[in-house]
Amino acid sequence: MSYTNSSIGSGSRTGRRAFEFGRTYVVRPKGKHQATIVWLHGLGDNGSSWSQLLESLPLPNIKWICPTAPTRPVALLGGFPCTAWFDVGELSEDCPDDFEGLDSSAAHIANLLSTEPADIKLGIGGFSMGAATALYSATCFAQGKYGNGNPYTVCLRTIIGLSGWLPGARNMRNKIQGSHEAARRAASLPILLCHGLCDEVVPHTHGERSNHALSLAGFQNLAFKSYDGLGHYTVPKEMDEVCNWLNARLGL
C-alpha cells in the first residue's frame, strides 16, 4: 500500500485518452449497512490490498468499495505505465494539475456511490494519490460540479485523506467562496487528514498546506493529525483514528 518513488505530485497533462478502470473489490458489511465508503489506493497499487486491510477494521456497518485505477503512462516514471488516478509529475505548487484525469476518476467514484440506497451515508477515502483524488472529489462536491463543468450529484458525508495532498489548491478558494451554496456545502463536509512527519514521498508540509488551503476555502469541519516517526505508509494508530472518525461523524 505504499510505493518508493522519491517524489510524487500533481503532474503534467497528456493528450485526451480514454483509460479503462481496473477491478473493483467490495467488502460487505458484517452488521447493518449504514454507510458506504469508496477507498482509493496509491500510485502503482490496486484495490485488493486495501480491501484486505479495511475488512479487518472494527467497522461492521460500513460497506467498502475499493476500485483499481486505470493503467496509464505516468510522467513521474518517465512515461512508464502503472495504475494511477491521474497523471503525476513532481510535487510542486507550479506543476500543472491533470484535471482531465482527476475529473475522470472523480466521476468513476461518484458513479460507484450513485447506486447505493438513499438512506446510506456516503464517503470517500484514500492513501497518497488516492487521498489526493478523494480531496479533489470533496471540492467537486462543494462546487456541485467537476472541473469540466459537469454536475456533481453525489451527496458526500465525509472525506479521509492519508499521506496525500490537495490538487487544484491554488484556485479553490475563489471557486468556492464565490458561491453561497458551495460555501455551505464546504462548511458541512467533515474531512480527516492524516500525515506522517517522516513521509519521504509526500512530505508532511504538503499535508499541512492542503489543510490550510481547505480551511481558507471554507471547509470548517477539518481535522489534521500528524504522526511522529511515520513514513509513507499507514500504521494501526492511524487506522484507529480513521475508525473513531467514521464512528463519530457517521453516527455508526
- For the annotated catalytic residues, the residue numbers are 128, 199, 232
DSSP 76: G
Contacts of 164 (CB under 8 A, 6+ apart): 126, 127, 128, 129, 130, 131, 132, 134, 135, 193, 195, 202, 207, 210
Q: Cell numbers at residue 190, please?
A: 467533515
CA distances from 74 to 9, 93, 134, 233 (A): 11, 18, 19, 21
CA distance 150 to 156: 17
Count of residues making up the chain: 252
